[in-house]
Structure 1
């Protein structure tokens, strides 16, 4: 995969609080770890997107705001700060991608129906070839839909804006 970057969106401590964690939290972290290890083995750029919001208990520098330690973010990794669901809106993400000649994006993380959805659509409208890692994004149940239903729905609906592939398909393509 030439000129490709991996975006890991909003995998922060707040999303893994005991009793209020995202759907299939352990599986999500396991798949993210596999994606990151595979990308790093091929020197693929990884962009960690970090959300900041007082209303969501994600104040900058708070424990909740920090990226989840399971990601093993290294000092050379690029972390992009955002304050809206769109990882491109009023951030330096697009500039960094263009500077590195990135044309293809692999998207994973949290929250399926908000930040993942918005970023997939935005990336598509900006001309990036986008892939959604179908088993490496998550959300929470709502009174209307279960998290598993939202994930399935978005994996289907976002095919208008992104190709969907599994973690294992991504890893196999890099071999």
Structure 2
């Protein structure tokens, strides 16, 4: 039987956070709340020069809880599905629906969400549990609000994409 409360945590790594990210403490607190309530956690970790596997930069942030049954997928592109084992991991466990959180809202989180939705996965974005850095065109707070709005109104015929606050996700998970 597939896990019913699945959480995907994207790029919450030491090296990624060498660039200042908005509300790191609040974001990691909410992600930990979700981790503690989830049946299955999938950590997505980016690798590239400076983020090599087994390096401190590649490691997850030390404040994140790592459940014993957590799954790990390494990626080399913004999209966690691109040339990775993610689809095999999901399919082999019968996972078709999951909650998404992590970093960076406007890059890896957004790309993974849009590609996953196109592949038919039913996703809920934890709207208050993803973060990014200030960019030249917009500050992080504006980007997070913008992407939450974009995801809420994304047209995906035959599929749905929800954006909910962590408290709302946790409340729904207690009824499962």
Q: TM-score, normalised by structure 2?
A: 0.89
Of the structure 1 ranges 149-158 and 2-11, higher mean CA displacement relative to structure 2 is found in 2-11
Which residue matches 1:31? 30
Which residue matches 1:135? 128
Aligned residues between the structures: 167
Alignment partners' CA distance in 2, 1:15 and 1:37 = 23
1:15 aligns with 2:16: yes
Give the secondary-structure state (helix, strand or coil) at the position aligned to 1:13: coil
Of 128, 135, 150, 2:143 maps to 150
Q: CA deviation at 1:4?
A: 4.6
1:107 aligns with 2:135: no
Contact 1:3–1:103 under 8 Å retained in 2: no
Alignment partners' CA distance in 2, 1:92 and 1:109 = 19
For residues 38-57 of structure 1, what are the structure 2 equivalents within 5 Å? 38-39=37-38, 44-54=39-49, 57=50
Contact 2:3–2:40 under 8 Å retained in 1: no
Deviations 1:10-52 (A, max 9, x none): 00012333xx32100110010011010111xxxx211000000
Alignment partners' CA distance in 2, 1:32 and 1:128 = 20
Alignment partners' CA distance in 2, 1:2 and 1:33 = 18
Question: Between Structure 1 and Structure 2, which shows a larger proportion of helix residues?
Answer: 1
Q: TM-score, normalised by structure 1?
A: 0.90
Q: What is the root-mean-square deviation in Å for CA atoms of aligned residues? A: 1.6
Q: CA deviation at 1:2?
A: 6.6
Gaps of 5+ in 2: none
